[in-house]
Structure 1
Amino acid sequence: MKKDLRFVYGVLSVLIFELVTCSASGQGLIKKNINDADYKLWSTMETKNISENGQWYTYSLSYEQGADTLFVKSTQKNKNYAFSGTLAGTFLKEKWFCSRNDQNELSLLHLPSGKIEITKNADNYSFTSDEKYLIIFLRTDKQKKIIIKPLDGSASYEIENVKGYAYNQKSNQLIYSKSVSYGCSVSILTIKEKFSESKIIESDNFNYTSFVWQQNAGSAVFSRSRTDVNTDSSAEVKELVYYKTDTQKMFVFQPDTTFDFDKKYVIKSETVSDMMISEDGKSVFFKIKGRNPKSEKAAKKIVQVWNADDKYLEPAEKEKDGSVKMPKTVVWWPEKNNFRILTDTVFSKLMLDTNRKFAITWNPVANEPQSNLHAARDYKTINLGTGQEQYFLKDFNYEVDKIALSPAGKYVTYFKNNHWWIYNIEKNIHTNLTAALQESFSVEDLDRGDGPLPYGNPGWTPDDQSILLYDRFDIWEISIENLKALKLTHGRSEKTIYRIRPVSNEQKLKGNFDGVTNAVINVNKSIIFQSKAENVNGLWWYKKNSSILPIILSKNKISDPVMALNTETVIYKEESFETPPRLILQEKKEKKAQTLYQSNSHFKHFNSGTSSVIHYRNRNGNSIKAALFYPANYNHEKLYPMIVHVYEKQSETVHDYINPSLYSGNGFNVSHYTNNGYFVLLPDIVYEFGNPGNSAVDCVVAATKKALEIVPVNPKRIGLIGHSFGGYEVDYIITQTNIFSAAVAGAAITDLISGYLYVSWNFNRPNFFQYESGQLRMDGSIFKNFLSYLANSPVYYADRVTTPLLSWAGEADRHVHYYQTIEFYLALRRLGKKNVMLLYPDQQHVLTDKEQQKHLTEYVMRWFDNYLSAKSNPEFIKVN
């Protein structure tokens, strides 16, 4: 099997290191300090998958300076396999495993024997539903090809010169097109012991691509374009073909001749996800887009006109007025020879119910322009059979987790006025689900102005029988028939938060055109709950009408559970700041857990730090937490420097294992500092509306003083660092206190007045929403709270700064303009303060270039070393 040499060398270096250090372990293990050169030994582990009976599992290791690798291992025997350059794969029962690497090499592993077959140039693959074949789609510079490989080792079936294809799991059929001597043909291949192939089209006038099956294989739809037109996936598709498999009848959607189709549009078919067939096979959904005539030269734009009445900012043309240019969704009834455009320039967004009887559309721009991220929206249903339209929700304050379709398509779920509601689409009835319950289903301690926000709606039980909802602590099941509410957990009395942990695709939210459809969660089968209390994290088995049973309860971080389909077997990760993640297997019938794999096992040969949660109070008496990380090889008789990293709430990271690294998008890595002899403090911050700067000063200073009471930190050697909103907090804090001896602020907001009157280009929106109700929490516009904006802007207090500041930004930052960093730099320069500014060309809000990440990380460390440690070297500032 082909290996990536970088990965092999990386593994060898770890093995050699462990052999050398283990030779000393017989005389007592002598640990060494981690230096920068050792960081390459560390990898990041991700749990991937488990076979349906729990006998095999996969995980991946990603290296900063090596190839990502996928491992397949047995849970029962000492068998394991590695696939370099691979991050995912598929099990077929306990017998086969298939994966494809970044070089398009497909590996088929026979699990019992360990035999691996390699196929090059594999673009995609699928096991057949009868579990007897592997379908491989090959792509080379010269041609595309399908190989149907029998898993019993017999000869493969090959199809040459393929243009497009789709496989239907239910019928075990393959529909495909290929080039032939007379043009292009379309065939359906039934994959059984004896393959049966039927040709349905052959033509020298058309190419056929973009195949989509009806779910039950009763029909298929695909696109066609004339042979003299480029048929790459990016080309404009001219016509659609609908084929019924039972009657073998064919229907063609010909926009230019069959229908009175608007000449401004063409059929869009960049991906097959743009097309869909209803469950009953009677309707086809696809998208159209505006024509782009090659013959017409784009007129030179001599000016931009920014009108305050415009729905969107003028440069955001793709969104302007609901966008004439945005693709629109069309429904076509082939057998009725009819179609309807479902979305327009006003009601431009859409969801479809599961049965494709109704469309839900909404107008995202009716209430524009306004100051929030999203305007309030009007929603209506369209009966696809009759065309009747019905408004059912007006002026709804949209957030993605506030509205969704139920999985069976019977209801729209939405959160309004602090309650969960459902709307029965067919009956046109709204029902408040939580009105009779005492508990609050909106976030109780929300400290931002963009609420109210719900705790969540994780999904529905099968066939929309009941809905699952969260309050602050518990999980509820509410029957739709009688609104009977059942609390599945007792978290409120235990002060424990319970949540459902999705372990399958069915249990996850799904995209639905421009909206989402809720997950299906069958509480009559074993599902996984995750819990969080003050000092205990847990996973639990849950099945309705049975006792809730713990899988694991630990002070450590527990994450990423995956569960076998056919057995009550779960694999999860456990980690702490002191110990890297390990994979653990737990079977419900077994009491004892089994450690499957310890990542970064070489960690035990190095000195490491520890972590703890400390508690402090702000000026209002609020009890607040902070995560405190101790230096490696800590000596309580020694005075240490400390770095305080600020953002919002970070104490929950206290048990995260953090790989030491020089490659960080914001120049900061906790382990890098603890390895270099620093304490690191991450305080939570509680905010007052209209006063974010002073809130940060209050909490951060209080947390820092509390840390000084607990651990031996030199009060004259404390540094402060933050990025983005944290960078804003750093700049403001150093204008109000001198307890920090050095500071670093990245991509910071420094002038709330100029920042408010600028654009967040990531959203193509004015910054109003970020400042009024978002992170800045200013609780109103600059015109309502001008003095508060002024009082919370660091730049206007630059004369008070005594702390040496390193500031940095990316010149291509579209979230916080780098002019904000320049404003503060120029203010400090004019006042003769100590400030160095780093501007990174072509980098945005977070640095993505590896070389620039390393430069920033090393420069920040030298900055702090210069002011906080014995490694003072002012000359480094002059070094690029």
Structure 2
Amino acid sequence: MKINNKRLVQVESFLSRITFLFFVLVTCPLLGQVKQKKMLQESDYHLWHTLQSENISENGNWISYKLVYPNGKDTLFVRNTKLDIQYVFPNSFNGSFNMEESFACITPIAGLQILNLKTGKSHTYAGITQYKYTKNKKYIITYSKAGDPSLEIKKSSGLTIMKIDNVREYKIAPQENAVMFTDGRCIGFITLTDKLEKTIIVEKSENPFFNLTWQSNGNAVAFLQKKDDLGENNLFFFSLKNNKLFEFDSEKFLNPKDDFTINPTVTTKLTISDDGQHVFFGIKKRDYNYSVIDSTQVQIWNASDKLLYSQREEIGQWDKVAKLGVWFPYENKFKQITSNQLPKVILAGNQKFAITFNPWQYETQYKQQGDIDLSLINLTSGDSSLILTKHSGNKNHTIISPEGNFITYFKGQNWWVYDISKKIHINCSANISQPLFDQNYNSAGEIPAYGILGWTKNDSSLLIYDQFDIWEVSPEGNSAKRLTHGREKNIQFRIAKQQYENFRTENYNGFYALEIDLDHALILQAKNNEKSGYYIWNKTDAEKPLVFNEMKNSYLMKSSKGERYVFQQQNYQNAPSIWFKKNKKSKAELIVQSNRQQKDYYWGKTEKIHYSNKNGTSLNGALFYPANYNPSNKYPLIVSIYELKSHELYQYVNPTLYSDTGFNVTNYTAQDYFVLCPDIIYEIGNPGISALDCVVSATQSVIDKGFIQKDKIGLIGHSFGGYETNFIITQTNLFAAAVSGAGVADLTSWYLTMGWNTGTPEIWRFENQQWRMGKSLFEDKQAYNRNSPLEFVQNIQTPLLSWTGKQDRQVHWYQSIEFYLALRRLQKEHILLVYPQEKHVVMNPKDQEDLSNHIKQWFDYYLQNKSLPSWVSYK
């Protein structure tokens, strides 16, 4: 068959035109539906919220989370991890699951709300302000402050089965199976096991009870009773096992001439020993028994005094500080543990021993925590022995083993144990081949340890961190085994905070170590310079990744039954989201995405930059690109400085005017700015010069990329970053404008300044901390001068905006005044903002907004050629 090619071409042409027309008609409406992105404006900031993970149910079928808004209208959500089911609780808090059955929370107006997770129905119980499910989940303990305060015991369904009126104080047992209560005149407890039972300890009393305390295993309680209006209190101990009440005999045990009263404080709180044989509590002299500093009399500041006059005035003298005592109710004995000579204490040996020390023993000294001598007291016999001299005052360097058999301490760059029973010191880390002190420590003074994870069961072995890994060592020091393989992988492993509620248990002026069961899997937090996440460790397989990627992974939660996991992910481009894994090997599923409105706006991106300081050390920085970046344009740059800041690359930043330092990265990237957050490392003796070196190198590396306006670069810093800003602009004209918040101006005057928030001189910060001088002013005055902004203030050509809080007791506002007066005398471009009611950071929302606007207008004028703000006009 013959084909007419001309006719075929005509048909094909016609069909092409019809197809094109059809395509246009069909797609035009779709094209019209494509939403054009917007530039972010201040009027949009209120749309952003903060995502907070809350809880996961027992089997992991439900999670709760909260969205927190700047206007305070927060919302609590409950979401199913399998199905698309979600419940909303506006303005609610304190949410918790009762297995997979129900969810409860508090709403300030409505009271307690209980949601039945199976039916989706909820019920509200008005007036309830506090609640707690019992361990067995059969009951709910609720408390109402409305009218006469009342304590109610409800079934998990919400039905009230017991009510006690006029309850002034209550305390739930650690096992969550009982609650102690008092209405002031009566005190008792309710057991909440299979059988609900109320027991009255004291039925009627003329004086009220308070300070209710449980033994750790729930077998005993202790409490106080107000004796009179002069501060006298009675102390009681009650054994639930023996159903026996003991009363402390104050007249017998507290010497009348000392005039001590029972007066537990935060540092001498009422506690019961684990074995129930000892009761610890504070005793304190009456106020009229010690000399009170008369503020109208002349102050005598003696240079040979151990403590400055201001320290005695601010912190107080040991004579007026509560002392810790121990009562043996079954033996009817009492001992005072601490004294004016040894006023601090850590308990050991199952609370049968006490370590006492004086933190001011070696005054005058210039460390944040002074060296100490440790004395060990046998609380039964009263025998005392000195076990350590000139030991580190760092609390993290002395930790008691969970069973109390060993005192663990870091000394000479090794971990040691003191065996209490054998009275010997052992270097338990002698067989660890890697350094145990911080290899990247970049401050002056004592180099800290990486730390310990804890002890295994029965104090069998100690778990120690090096830079990357976890080691298991015997207390005898004859074995050391590396449990993880982080060094080979360049990954640092640490125990995940979410696995244990408390890393360490508070122990008066120290800590008990965490007890770790290596027969169960451990969840480890993992990170390196590029990635973060979680690994699962067990004895058989060592560590295996749960999630590990180039995101910030955090807030991991694991179901108490099974292996279901929930965690958050974010980086600067991606708002925080919640991900779910039904087991450790399954693929993660996105179940909650915050700030979905971000997709409607142009948003900046990030890049990790690399540069070197003058010594050739490789450093990193986080570079934030402008939203809707156009590579054919050139942009202004703001450099935000402090110390190490490259980690901000992985932090999502909500736009807001309510920042406590007045600067927000997203506010600026949304308005055509690049922002650079460089890392700074320091040479001891040269904090300012080191900052100059690193910041200029980092800034130049960004300039070299070719998209920055070289004459439109700003610099900003707060606190130590404020000092760095002040110094850097005395050494270079690279920056067209600068902002310094609460910054130091003169190293000499600041070295010789009092830290009025502590009553101690700032000298320690220079010689042994952040200022990194390493020597006193009088040993190396040239170093102080060459790093002091005031020494070079005449060189400044950069317009400077400074701000300070008039109530700042950390960096006194006079430092800003010194710099202001110098710049004023030299007729430099400078404005100082003083906030009369603010401290080191700005907390009042009105002032936060004001500071944010001033800083933005300052940079806009100098870096984007916008109109001169009226407040900048020189009069």
Q: Normalized against structure 1, the TM-score is what?
A: 0.92
Q: Which residue of 1 aligns with 2:47?
A: 41
The alignment status of 1:158 with 2:163, answered yes or no, reads yes
Which of 756-765 and 621-630 deviates more?
A: 756-765
More off after superposition, 512-521 vs 716-725: 512-521
**Counterpart position of 2:6:** none
The one-letter amino acid paired with 1:686 is: I
| 2:383 aligned partner | 388
- Aligned twin of 1:461: 456
Which residue of 556, 567, 570 maps to 2:565? 570
Aligned partners of 1:130 and 1:476: how far apart in 2? Answer: 37
Structure 1 pair 78–237 and aligned structure 2 pair: CA distance change class (3 A): farther
Indicate the residue corresponding to 1:406 in structure 2: 401
Alignment partner of 2:689 out of 691, 694, 702: 694
CA contact (8 A) 1:615 1:625 kept: yes
| Whole-angstrom CA distance in 1 between matches of 2:532 and 2:176 | 45
**How far apart in 2 are the matches of 1:777 and 1:223?**
48
Q: Which residue of 2 aligns with 1:427?
A: 422
**SS of the residue aligned with 2:819?**
helix
**How far apart, CA to CA, are the structure 2 residues paired with 1:57 and 1:26?**
39
Q: Deviations over 1:835-871 (max 9, x none)?
A: 0110110111111111111111110010011011031
Q: Partners in 1 of 2:439 and 2:188 — Cα distance?
A: 59
User: How far does the alpha carbon of each residue in 1:791-834 deviate from its partner, in whole angstroms, 9 at most, with x for none?
Assistant: 11111211111110001111111111111111111111111110
For the Cα contact (< 8 Å) 1:731–1:750, is it kept in 2? yes
Q: Distance in 1 between matches of 2:601 and 2:779?
A: 56
Is 1:585 aligned with 2:580?
Answer: yes
1:122 to 123, 128, 136: 128
Give, in angstroms, the shift of residue 46 of structure 1.
1.9
Partners in 2 of 1:361 and 1:779 — Cα distance?
Answer: 30
2:525 maps to a residue whose letter is: Q
Q: Which residue of 1 aligns with 2:26?
A: none
SS in 1 for 2:824: helix
Matches within 5 A, 1:620-659: 620-659=615-654
Instruction: State whether structure 2 residue 287 is matched by structure 1 residue 286.
Output: no
Q: Bigger CA drift: 293-302 or 313-322?
A: 293-302
Answer with 415-424 or 426-435: which moved more: 426-435
The answer to whether the aligner puts 1:449 opposite 2:441 as a matched pair is: no
- 2:9 equivalent in structure 1: none
2:146 matched to 1:149?
A: no
1:204 is displaced (CA, Å) by 4.3
Give 1 or 2 for the bigger CA radius of gyration: 2
- Tell me if the contact between 1:613 and 1:628 (Cα under 8 Å) persists in the aligned partners: yes
Write the distance in 2 (CA, Å) between the matches of 1:711 and 1:86.
50
Distance 2:267 2:804 in 1: 40
Q: What residue number does 1:207 align with? A: 208
Q: Decide whether aligned partners of structure 1 residues 527 and 194 sit closer, same or farther in structure 2, where only a CA change above 3 A counts.
A: closer
RMSD: 2.6
Task: Look up the SS of the partner of 1:401 in the other structure.
Answer: helix
Q: 1:584 to 1:27 in 2, by over 3 A?
A: same
Match of 2:220 in 1: 219
Residues 380-425 of structure 1: per-residue CA shift (max 9 Å, x gap): 2211111111221110122132221122222222111111112222
Give yes or no for contact 1:690–1:778 (8 Å, CA) kept in 2: yes
Give the SS at the match of 2:516. Answer: coil
Identify which of 54, 62, 82 aligns with 2:60. 54
CA deviations over 1:397-455 (Å, ceiling 9, x no partner): 22132221122222222111111112222222211122222211111232211222111
Q: Which residue of 2 aligns with 1:333?
A: 328
Q: Say which of 80, 86, 97 aligns to 2:86.
A: 80
The correspondence of residues 292-311 of structure 1 with structure 2, limited to 5 A, is 292=287, 301-311=296-306
Q: Which amino acid aligns with 2:271?
A: M
What's the CA shift string for 1:586-620, capped at 9, x where partnerless? 23354211111001111111100000111111221
Change in Cα spacing, 1:737 to 1:194, as seen in structure 2 (3 Å) is closer
Structure 1 partner of 2:670: 675
Unaligned runs of 5+ in 1: 1-22
Q: Which residue of 1 aligns with 2:35?
A: 29
Match of 1:177 among 169, 176, 182: 182
Distance apart, 1:481 and its partner CA: 5.4
Give the AA of the match of 1:806: L
Give the Cα–Cα distance (whole angstroms) in 2 for the partners of residues 753 and 298 of structure 1. Answer: 30
- Residue by residue, what CA displacement relative to the aligned partner does 1:151-190 show, whole Å, maximum 9, x if unpaired? 24544311112233333365934433336xxxx3333433
Match for residue 773 of structure 1 among 765, 768, 776: 768
Alpha-carbon contact 1:862-1:876 (below 8 Å) kept? no
Are residue 473 (structure 1) and residue 468 (structure 2) matched?
yes
Pick closer, same or farther for the CA change 1:123–1:327 going to 2, 3 Å: farther
Gaps of 5+ in 2: 1-28
Residue 271 of structure 1 deviates from its aligned partner by 7.6
2:721 aligns with 726
Change (3 A) 1:711 1:545: farther
Deviations 1:666-690 (A, max 9, x none): 1111111101110001111121111
Match of 1:527 among 506, 522, 526: 522
- The structure 2 residue matched to 1:510, chosen from 482, 505, 514, is 505
Q: Distance in 1 between matches of 2:861 and 2:480?
A: 61
Deviates more, 1:674-683 or 1:144-153: 144-153
Larger CA deviation: 829-838 vs 558-567: 558-567
The question of whether the paired residues in 2 share the 8 Å contact of 1:631 and 1:679 is answered with yes
Structural mapping, 1:123-142, within 5 Å = 123-140=129-146, 142=147
| SS of equivalent to 2:587 | coil
Change (3 A) 1:130 1:261: farther
Q: 1:4 maps to what in 2?
A: none
Secondary structure at 2:498 match in 1: coil
Say which of 798, 809, 812 aligns to 2:793: 798
Q: Which amino acid aligns with 1:870?
A: N
Does the Cα contact within 8 Å between 1:628 and 1:682 map onto a contact in 2?
yes
Alignment match, 1:8? none
Q: Is the 8 A contact 1:313 1:320 kept in 2?
A: no
Residue type of the partner of 1:41? Answer: L
Paired with 1:649 and 1:782, the residues of 2 have a C-alpha distance of 26
In structure 1, distance between residues paired with 2:586 and 2:86: 25
- Distance, in Å, in 2 between the alignment partners of 1:116 and 1:675 is 43
When structure 1 is superposed on structure 2, of 347-356 and 802-811 the one drifting more is: 347-356
Q: Distance in 1 between matches of 2:825 and 2:235?
A: 67
Identity %, equivalent residues: 36
Q: Distance in 2 between matches of 1:500 and 1:675?
A: 38
- Please give the per-residue CA displacement for 1:608-650, whole angstroms capped at 9, x wherever unaligned: 0000111111221111111110000000000100001111111
* Shift of residue 655, structure 1, vs aligned partner: 1.5
Q: Is the 8 A contact 1:609 1:675 kept in 2?
A: yes
User: TM-score scaled by structure 2?
Assistant: 0.92
- C-alpha change, 1:101 and 1:400, in structure 2 (3 Å) is farther
Helix, strand or coil for the counterpart of 2:45?
Answer: helix
- Paired position in structure 2 for 1:99: 105
Are the equivalent residues in 1 in contact too, given 2:315–2:758 (CA < 8 A)?
Answer: no
Q: Which stretch of structure 1 is more off in the superposition, 504-513 or 95-104? A: 95-104
Q: Tell me which moved more, 397-406 or 153-162.
A: 153-162
- Classify 1:99/1:358 alpha carbon distance in 2 versus 1 (closer, same or farther; 3 Å): farther
Give the conservation status (yes or no) of the 8 Å contact 1:583–1:597. yes
Q: Output the CA distance in 1 between the equivalents of 2:290 and 2:280.
A: 30
Matched with 2:813 is 818
Question: In 1, Cα distance between the equivalents of 2:425 and 2:253?
Answer: 41
Alpha-carbon spacing, 1:388–1:873, altered in 2? closer, same or farther (3 Å): same
Aligned twin of 1:735 = 730
> Which whole-Å CA distance do the structure 2 matches of 1:24 and 1:414 have between them?
69
Whole-angstrom distance in 2 between the partners of 1:25 and 1:62: 35
| Kept in 1: contact 2:428–2:474 (CA 8 A) | no
Could you tell me whether the CA contact under 8 Å between 2:573 and 2:603 is conserved in 1? yes
